[in-house]
A and B are shown apart, each in its own frame.
Chain A
Amino acid sequence: MSSIIEVKNLSKKYTIGDRQGYVALRDVMMNIIKSPLSWFGNKVKLAVTHNKYNEFWALKNVSFSVEKGEVLGIIGRNGAGKSTLLKILSQITPPTGGEVRLGGRVGSLLEVGTGFHPELTGRENIYLNGAILGMKKKEIKAKFNEIVKFAEIEKFLDTPVKRYSSGMYVRLAFAVAAHLEPEVLIIDEVLAVGDADFQRKCLGKMSDITKKDGRTVLFVSHNLDAVERLCSRTMLINDGEVVSIGETKEIIALYKSKVSSLTVKEMILPPRDNTIVVFEKISMNTDDAVDVSDGFEIGQKIRIKLEFNIKESAKDIEISFKLRNSHEVDIMFSSLSDSCGFKFYEFQPGKYSAEIEIPNNFLMPGLYHIDLFATRPGFAGIDAQKDVICFRVFSRNTIKEINYGMGCVVSNATWSVTPLGRKTS
């Protein structure tokens, strides 16, 4: 059997700082005018030495192949390189090294509703979105009724989508995408949308696509149940490298045991050579002498202890962390200078330990991830480590189901009601 996707030694390098902030032409020109020699010197230096401080390999020597009609699952932690891989395969970004051979047209679904225009009606958006995803007008026309039926929006077909509820919007977007028919379909985490009912329907449609139509699919998801249901083979990626490829069941077991222990109390971070700030260890605890091995109770304060090593003395280093929930929503971002009167902490070379306290009754029950950043002014990154630790918050002792899981943080709002006169009848 011939493989339809052939990936050989694929690598992708990003320069940290590329996406943070932007380069102004004005600054570049000013630098040239002010000191043309040093500007030129820097250019040469960059070309000769490579600035390793800011390099980050999102993918390292990834090789695999996919047979025609196969459904390959791709799992791994956030920041493991899954999305980068999909972006290269769908030609959105070029690789730094290696080669990919694709034996057919690729349709990629990295997001639902790409290119939807709020002013246009549902009908118009079906055509527009279909075309953006690579469908021909003829194909869209042929599938039109099916799409509308699947999305359950018959009545609102001629209403601008800006008036749609978010549920309707997502249903329509998925419906269009689900009717794509390329030889290779690439899907990234799109099932994490809509209500539970619609998610089930999407999953059903997905298994129709894969099983009945016999199409080749690459499927990236954090939803391990979905991966298990849809994929015969699965690939586990970690830190930009393929850890293992094989039977889905085995790989998921491997993933659960190795990479994604749900709540980690302490993590020794992989050493990095070329940064001024080296994050070494992160650990979590709370006030009470309660065992936190399986997570934190909602009423507990969460203490994060961070150990890092400063290699050079610098007066403008900022250490920050970001807290994300399992839906990839940023819940909070906090920096060291926030607590130092918005001034930088003056670091001397040596080891440091920082303790961060997250207040109790703040985070909703759920799973959280932490990203760490060491930056210098202008958001020039020294180091960014995504997903260094994750932990769970639960509400075992809380009587009330906290607002049915609405919102991202626990509501501490106070209400007071004043009657404004009684209706007399």
Chain B
Amino acid sequence: MEIIIRPKNKWWQLNWREIWFFRDLFYFLSWRDIKVKYKQTIIGALWAVFQPFTTMVVFTIFFGKFAKMPSDGVPYPIFVYAGLVFWTLFSSSLSHVSNTFMENERIITKVYFPRIILPASSIITNVVDCLIASLILFGMMIYYHFDISILGLTIFPVLITMTVFSTLGIGLFFSALNVKYRDVRFVLPFFIQILLFVTPVIYPVSIVSEKYRWILGLNPMSGVIETARVVILGVGQVNWQLLSMSVASMAVYCILGYLYFKKVERYFADVI
């Protein structure tokens, strides 16, 4: 095997063979994050549930009870929780991914490996958290007498995958930006917070007039959450226009994020 190092390699290409070679590193980095997080097993698992659950309770009280937010005929707690399962995955992995290079600065300046492994592996813990949190969702479905359908169970991993790729696309961009501009990490929480309100987590898509609904689709999470409610809870119709819009924007973010990341990736060790 020959390696050639030049000032400008074909930067936009992803070297799959190399990534395959480093697959064990991906495994061990994900394993490290999970291990460290769940070192105190019970606390770790409880925390994964605690965050979306508390948010659900607070949202139910304020938005469901007091503000009388419509929820497409579904009990508000389960309506909002179904959204929160995916939203929490998105928001926590986005901030996790964006800071991944700063947290692993030492490794980056001392060892070579395809850098993309770091952000990719840092999402895994969040996926585990999300799976634990979704157990509560199924618990609530039983409590509120919803049928757990085969279709819902098959679509669930698809939606998780979509969320993961949306995060990866946007996160790659921010993680690379974060290396160069250190104030990005202060802006990011604010950005994520704002994003919560333009994502149909608290409210249903139906409160937006039909003409403008597609704009919500610029946010990939809109399609994911809306489809999750329809398919998993089994109420209403899939909004294909919104979903395809979300898939398209996810693809665009992935490509843009990836290109920016690849462009600056090689200089991480010089700048960080």
Q: Which positions in A face B, CB cutoff 8 Å? A: 14, 18-19, 22-26, 28, 87-106, 108, 110-111, 114-115, 117, 119-120, 124, 127-128, 131-137
Contacts and interface: CB of A to CB of B under 8 A. Distances in A.
B111 A92 contact: yes
A110 B5 CA distance: 19
A216 to B, nearest CB: 13
B210 interface: no
A81 to B, nearest CB: 15
B181 A24 contact: yes
A18 B22 CA distance: 30
Interface in B1-29: 1-9, 22, 24-25, 27-29
B68 interface: no
Interface of B: 1-9, 22, 24-25, 27-29, 31-32, 35-36, 39, 104, 106-113, 177, 180-184, 187, 266-267, 269-271
Contacts of A115: 104, 106-107, 111
Given A22-B182, A110-B110, 20 more contacts: A19-B271, A22-B181, A23-B181, A25-B177, A25-B184, A91-B5, A93-B269, A94-B9, A94-B267, A95-B6, A102-B3, A105-B3, A106-B3, A108-B110, A111-B110, A120-B32, A132-B107, A132-B113, A136-B24, A137-B28
A18 B266 CA distance: 15
A91 B106 contact: no
Contacts of B180: 23
Contact of A25 (B3, B31, B112, B187): B187
A93 B266 contact: yes
A108 B108 CA distance: 12
A25 B5 contact: no
Given A92-B109, A114-B106, A124 B35 contact: yes
A87 B63 CA distance: 55
A156 to B, nearest CB: 17
Nearest to B108: A92
B122 to A, nearest CB: 14
A151 B31 CA distance: 24
Given A24-B182, A25-B184, A104 B111 contact: no
Contact of A99 (B4, B22, B109): B4
B25 A132 contact: yes
Contacts of B1: 104-105
Nearest to A14: B270
B25 A91 contact: no
Contacts of A131: 24-25, 27-29
A95 B5 contact: yes
Contact of A119 (B5, B36, B177): B36
Contacts of B266: 93-94
Contacts of A128: 28-29, 31-32
B107 A90 contact: no
A307 to B, nearest CB: 33
A18 B269 CA distance: 11
A223 B108 CA distance: 26
